[in-house]
Amino acid sequence: MTETSIFLFFIIMILFFLAHRRGEDKYKGFSKGAKMLWEQLPLLILAFFAAGFLQTAVPSEIIQNFLGEEAGFRA
């Protein structure tokens, strides 16, 4: 786990605790978030596959020229 993952985990735990103390409709945000994740998950998986395919299909030199220090204003 990276430091960022641990930080986000603690933020989520704090927010979950605050929502639990709130009382009524305490899991409304959780259910909305879960529904949103379920709707976006296929697109997220396809995006990871597309990124993996592009990484193998496009040579790294082209990406470095496009996004590297020599790219100038484009990057």
pLDDT at 72 > cutoff 70? no
* Cα 74 from Cα 55, distance rounded (Å): 20
Mean pLDDT over 5-13 rounds to 94
Minimal CA–CA distance to 17: which of 5, 7, 26, 28? 26
Cβ contact 7:13 at 8 Å: no
**Does the global pTM surpass 0.75?**
no
Q: How many CB atoms lie within 10 A of CB 29?
A: 13
Alpha-carbon distances, residue 60 vs 36, 69, 70 (angstroms): 34, 14, 14
Predicted confidence (pLDDT) per residue in 24-64, tens digit: 776 777 788 889 999 999 999 999 999 999 889 988 888 88
| Greater model confidence, 7 or 24 | 7
For residue 20, the model assigns a pLDDT of 79
Q: Residue ranges per domain, the chain?
A: 3-74
For residue 45, the model assigns a pLDDT of 96
